[in-house]
Chains A and B, each alone.
Chain A
């Protein structure tokens, strides 16, 4: 199939402030691409440009090309709503819809896209929850509120919600930064599973996490991509001295 996500000469601004400078990055299908770097380096902004969430912020602007399987996501006729259905996203803090039950949270994307068939919804919700490794923990309380779950469960619920609409790509913006090590471990196992079917881009400030789960890694610093390559290579023999300083813990 397809060549996944290809970003060329991507620039992004918040008002007058340029936060991304000529980023080139490719995320190949059925692999995990990690973006690492210190706080404020633009890594979150970069993934938010992929599903056109950056422009939601007032004053934000983007130039450059982002392609999904060869299709330009910033083409004049491209519909951000349509794009976001094909590119799922998981955020830093778990954010289940508080007015909805666990079932309704997972079904939200499908329902709002027009699916009404009860049996099909049931099946899709079960599949998404199984996929997100949450089914066994919640199958008897699907009617309960999503915000009653633990932080780690809430985050897996959000992953299930994103997976339910069967996206081609899953973006994860520091998905474990609000979780304890055990919950983090579960999400990381899940990422390794999901990698078999999806293109995954994960932002993390945890270098060990990038090393554990990703196939490719890009190192960002002050809005620029300093180095991009296979994860093992980037961590063991970085080409740029700044990358080396960061991965060996000399700053950041």
Chain B
């Protein structure tokens, strides 16, 4: 075999191997999703999205309260996590100081590794105990704390990636530093930051442990943010360990709704920022 032919053969083999590796990587997601559709679709109907859970033995009912609850909890978490994470990330990237950012970065990475149930205990001690009851607020804070380091670090990375030449151009135009950050740096990094936020949302949407003794769960509609609230992961957990076939089917449906929720949100964020990717042009 000539050397050229050998090279072509090696190239073809490596191409196949690399493609195979890519397929194997996405295979688990496809399998999980397929299995969820297979198991969950039987219990999935309009009622599932509109009705409260029915008592045991009564057929039908849905998880409307849990779906709404999850969305509210994600919203609350974002309310705490987004401003803090993004402002902190900008600070880490822009500060000329070395020590404090180094400490923050290190602690954020540690926080990222803290088991989520520990963060649940933290929110329990901080909010549930003083208020003397479980609440949506406590759940939101727990999820917000989980979000925080993810958003902090992605924002930092992306703000750093904005080319120095753009900052210089803006400074040389006579903009004060805060305007350079607000009008030039953040808009340029926006698409990436939104992606980072979606990663964080996807992470917290499925968290169960930190909600066990904060949001607590609720079989009915919640009455205010200082009251216990239902959440999809909690409902799935409760139903999955129950002894009833009917509830098992609903748990599968709940899991399918949860994963679809995250998928749709990621997709919307991608579409909303699509133009931004293109516009980044040669600064990509």
* Chain A residues proximal to chain B, CB less than 8 Å: 51, 53, 56, 58, 81-86, 88-89, 91, 93, 95-99, 108-109, 112-113, 145, 147-148, 158, 161-162, 165
Contacts and interface: CB of A to CB of B under 8 A. Distances in A.
B171 A98 contact: no
Contacts of B172: 51, 53, 84, 88-89, 91, 162
Contacts of B283: 98, 147
A99 B165 contact: no
Contacts of B281: 98, 145, 147-148
Contact of A145 (B163, B187, B190, B279): B279
Contacts of A82: 174
Contacts of A99: 184, 187-188, 190, 276, 279-280
A113 B188 CA distance: 20
Contacts of B169: 91, 95-97, 158, 161
B71 to A, nearest CB: 30
Contacts of B165: 91, 93, 95
A108 B173 contact: yes
Contact of A53 (B96, B168, B176, B183): B168
B18 interface: no
A95 B162 CA distance: 12
B173 A91 contact: no
Given A99-B190, A147-B279, A109 B173 contact: yes
B274 interface: no
Contacts of B129: none
B279 to A, nearest CB: 5
22 contacts: A53-B171, A53-B172, A58-B96, A81-B174, A81-B175, A84-B171, A91-B165, A91-B168, A95-B163, A97-B166, A97-B169, A97-B188, A98-B279, A98-B280, A99-B190, A99-B279, A108-B170, A108-B173, A109-B175, A112-B173, A113-B174, A161-B173
B171 A56 contact: yes
Contacts of B190: 99
A96 B283 CA distance: 10
Contacts, number: 78
A161 to B, nearest CB: 7
A56 B171 CA distance: 9
Given A85-B173, A93-B165, A99-B184, 9 more contacts: A56-B168, A83-B174, A84-B172, A95-B166, A95-B168, A97-B166, A97-B169, A97-B184, A112-B173
B27 to A, nearest CB: 37
Nearest to B278: A145
Contacts of A113: 174
Contacts of A145: 279, 281
A165 B173 CA distance: 8
Contacts of B174: 81-86, 109, 112-113, 165
Contacts of B188: 97-99
Contacts of A158: 169
Contacts of A83: 174
A147 B278 CA distance: 10
A42 B71 CA distance: 58
